[in-house]
Amino acid sequence: MNLLHNTLDGINTGDSYYAELAQVRQNNLTKPAGSLGELENVGIKLAKIQGSCPPKPISNPVVAIFAGDHGVLNESVSPWPQEVTAEMVYNFLNGTAAVNVIANTVGADVYVIDAGVALDINNTDNNPNFIVKKIGNSTKNIVQENAMDYDSAVVCLEEGIRVANTLIDRGYDLLATGDMGIGNTTPSAAIIACITDTNPHDATGRGTGIDDQMLTKKIEVIQSAITRAKSNNDLSDPINVLSALGGFEIGQIAGFILGAANRKTPVILDGVISLAGALIAFELCNTISEYSFAGHLSVEPGAAIALKRLNLSPLVNLNLRLGEGTGAALSIPIIKAAANILNDMATFESANISNKD
């Protein structure tokens, strides 16, 4: 656990001095103060994260898609078969999924991480954007037993940290989270309900578009899983929550977020699976919210619940529920623009424009 402990010890709240400088600069740009709304707050937050005013322009964003399978799929919580997880990984690697199209549009690279896909992925083309961090071939059925043991949960977190470090070392300056895993909205809703002490009925959505009967079953499954977990685990420890209810990809997303915060690199959170990982990270270190942006508001009800706990406001609301990192990728231009405004926009003085009295 040395990497995890060292990472947590190295996370601080950022430099408020640069946030103050950024606020002063925002107020002196050629616009009424506050007129760019949330865009101004994003720029100030970037300055605080980077310790620089104006903040450094974002030039090299990346979407990291963590993929894993789930034993709870045996409880009939999704109409999709498990092999779709691996098939979608190949779709990402071929560059033909929704997230690839959006990432290409906004100028971001896409990496795929095998955190625990049931089938082994054959990377015949030696795609450099494929990273193997497989903890196991699918988690266990959380209704019957813990998803993974405690040590595996720690390994998930540390492997996610390593992915963040690898991408930052490769020059990426804005990280975005993505996910793939058939059935993964079930453990995500379970984590969110457990950590926020929310009724599973209120935290559970339709995922890939299940009908009423399957939704009812899904809620019952989540309630059963939480009840079992509470009887066998100390859920005040977020690593125990991950062990009892989580997924390999959810744990690695949590570590990825921790790693970004440790390296003072902004990270965009995607939908409900990423937010479940963010809650695990948040319970380990509340300061991760200082480095995180909520890319969008997923229509999955657990997303709004998680965002409230994280004290984050979504940058866009497009009624998305696909995952993959699509919502996070769509918000990349907003964060780029926020940095560029503080860099490139004229002040009243430099533009010789009269300010108000």
Catalytic residue numbers, as ranges: 324
Cα-Cα end-to-end distance for the chain: 58
User: For tokens 């083309």, what's the residue?
Assistant: 125
Roughly what angle, to the nearest 10 degrees, separates helices 150-169 and 2-9? 60
CA dist 244 and 253 (Å) reads 16
CA dist 330 and 173 (Å) reads 16
Amino acid occupying residue 215: L
Distances in whole angstroms, Cα of residue 241 to Cα of each of 76, 193, 247:
22, 11, 10
With CA atoms as reference, report the closest residue to 195 among 73, 281, 324.
281
CB atoms within 10 A of CB 181: 32
Q: Sheet harboring 130-132: ordered strands across?
A: 130-132, 109-116, 61-68, 174-180, 267-269, 292-296, 314-316
Strands (E) across the chain are located at 61-68, 109-116, 130-132, 174-180, 267-269, 292-296, 314-316
* Peptide bond connecting 54 to the previous residue in cis, omega within 30 degrees of 0: yes
